[in-house]
Chain A
Amino acid sequence: MDVLLENWRPILQAFGVTVEMMLAAGLIAMLVGSLLAAMRVSPIPLARAFGTGYVWTVRNTPLLVIMVLFAFGLPEIEVRPELNLNSWLGLETSHRLLNFNVFFIFATAALGLYTAAFVCEALRSGINSVHLGQAEAARAVGMTFTQTLRHIVLPQAFRAVIAPLASVLIAMTKNTSVAVGVGVTEATFMMRKLTNDNATALIAIFLGFALGYMVLVAIISAIANFLERKVKVA
């Protein structure tokens, strides 16, 4: 217990990195996932094939393999993105949480692109759950593909999609821990460091970090519950 209290600052900072990863990867996953879902239901055969191929490939590749391929493979073809918000914002004292190195960026990109496949599937099953008659009626009054999707199908699909989307994002939150494999200094990294230094308090350390992840998961569940109640049709 003492170990956790003594190191509360670095632990909190490590969870800060985890939260940053969650937000950035979540954003990528939602954007790319929506695009993929649109491709998979679109009338263009080539786009449909691409969407299907993407989902199939990602579903059958371990996340860590994608992360390792990005973080160690891409620098060999001179792709080395870095982002230092400290100098960008012109801050005097540089803050660790505002400095994103190659590993963080590649791990986050890998996590986002990986989760996008599952977001796509959640959205697609949501679209399929909207009653056929709805789309048929929209077609009958002369709406185009885009209009049908935007005004009729998607608003209804949104309701059906909140719960599965929340589980995808919860799994993604847990998956941020995989980034320790490519050396990102997030929460799991910190736990490994603490367990290496304090062999006597292993269980307390483990339970403390597990609790931290559970809090993050609980926040997502709470938001999902709130949204679900808000859009529920009585």
Chain B
Amino acid sequence: MTTGSTVLFDAPGPVTRRRHLLYSGLFLLAFAGILAWVFVRLNDAGQLEAEIFEKLFQENILSAILDGLANTLKAAVLAIVLAVLLGFLLATGRLSERAYVRWPATAVIEFFRAVPLLLLIIFIFAMLGGRGLETQARGLMALVGGLMLYNGAVLAEVFRAGVNAVPKGQAEAAYAIGMRKTQVLMIIQMPQAIRYMLPAIISQCVVALKDTSLGFAAAYLELLRQGRLIAEYVGNNLWTYVMIALIYIVLNSIVSTIATMLEKRLRTSGAGKAVEATEEAVPQG
């Protein structure tokens, strides 16, 4: 073990090892106690009847889940693509040398980073009212619009940090051979910055994927909203939502693992320090 935490204590001797074993035993006992309590509680409430699970694992439920999953992924992909485009636009705006471009871009970035995402989604949903839109289309537009504005603002800051992380000499050399500002940004700085930014962008994808669950509040039939329909149909909230949660965990774990692997690869390939998402690491929703 070479982690920093091991320096906090010595390599345990025989007595300490026995003590740790005791603590581990107590910990396990407490954990088992909680599990047993949950089990008794579930049993008493009749939540462990085989009938519930027979209902939950029907074929039409599976297809309902797949529908919800498809809607979730549709919203997530649309939102991420649009957010990357918007983020790029806002970042170029904020990096501009002209104040009348820089200030509005800064204001937009700061505003959408500060406003709660769900407030934004509900607002857009209300704005889209009375235009004869079908509910699902309206919900999708509100969800994707909100996600695009919020994640776009967050990604703009990631892009800016990435460009600033490229060594100054690169831009200076490019100016010296007569490139213009736009050329320097597009040909020299951005391609290098992407390397620094990729892990942060992918972890933002996980955040966006999680946040699609807020479509629930805009009546968009994504996985969670679909889960509510399933819960009503099956007549069991507890296990339906446990199942929905497990699907989210598996889905996000896959994307998170890809992000971590990529980050490790970038670190070892000598790309220097990756841009860290700070506040962005704490997802909304």
Interface residues of A (CB under 8 A from B): 40-41, 43-47, 50, 56-57, 59-66, 68-69, 72-79, 118, 127-128, 132, 135-136, 139, 144-145, 148-149, 153, 164, 167-168, 170-172, 174-178, 180-181, 188, 191-192, 195-196, 199, 202, 206, 209-210, 213-214, 217
Docked pose: A196 CA to B123 CA in angstroms: 10
In the complex, the answer to whether B248 meets A60 with C-beta atoms within 8 Å is yes
* Closest residue on chain A to residue B244 by CB atoms: A65
Q: CA A73 – CA B190 in complex, angstroms?
A: 48
Cross-interface CB contact of B115 among A41, A135, A213, cutoff 8 Å: A213
CB–CB A199/B126 < 8 A: yes
B59 within 8 A of A: no
Q: B72: shortest Cβ distance to chain A, in Å?
A: 10
Query: Are A214 and B114 touching (Cβ within 8 A)?
Result: yes
Are the C-beta atoms of B285 and A175 separated by less than 8 Å?
A: yes
B278 adjacent to A44 (CB under 8 Å): no
Contact between A178 and B285, CB atoms less than 8 A apart = yes
Residues of B within 8 A of A45 (CB): 20, 24
Q: Indicate which residue in A60, A74, A172 contacts B249 across the interface (CB closer than 8 Å).
A: A60
Chain B residues, CB < 8 A from A77: 41-42, 44-45, 47, 238
Q: Are A139 and B7 in contact (CB under 8 A)?
A: yes
Q: Which A residues are CB-close (under 8 A) to B15? A: none
Among residues of B, the one whose C-beta sits closest to the C-beta of A138 is B8
- A209 & B119 in contact (Cβ 8 Å cutoff): yes
Q: Identify whether the interface residues of A are mostly helix, strand, loop, or mixed.
A: helix
**B10–A139 CB distance below 8 A:** yes
Q: How many A-B residue pairs have CB under 8 A?
A: 186
Which residues of B have CB within 8 Å of A73? 237-238, 241-242
Given contact pairs A60-B252, A199-B129, A69 touches B242 in the complex (Cβ within 8 A)? yes
Interface range for B: 35 or more
- Apart from A68-B216, A195-B123, A213-B115, list 14 A-B contacts with CB within 8 A: A44-B24, A60-B248, A61-B249, A65-B245, A69-B242, A74-B238, A118-B281, A144-B9, A175-B284, A180-B118, A181-B118, A181-B216, A191-B119, A206-B119
Cβ-based interface call for B214 (8 A): yes
Partner of B224, one of A68, A74, A195, A196: A68
Interface membership of chain B positions 233-255, coded 1 if the CB is closer than 8 angstroms to chain A and 0 otherwise? 00011100110110011001100
Task: List B contacts of A63 (CB < 8 A).
Answer: 210, 213, 283-285
The interface centre, meaning the residue of B116, B130, B214, B279 with most chain A CB atoms within 10 A of its CB, is: B116
Instruction: Write the chain B residue with the least CB distance to A179.
Output: B118
Q: B269 interface residue, CB < 8 Å from A? A: no
Residues in chain A near residue B23, CB distance under 8 A: 44, 47
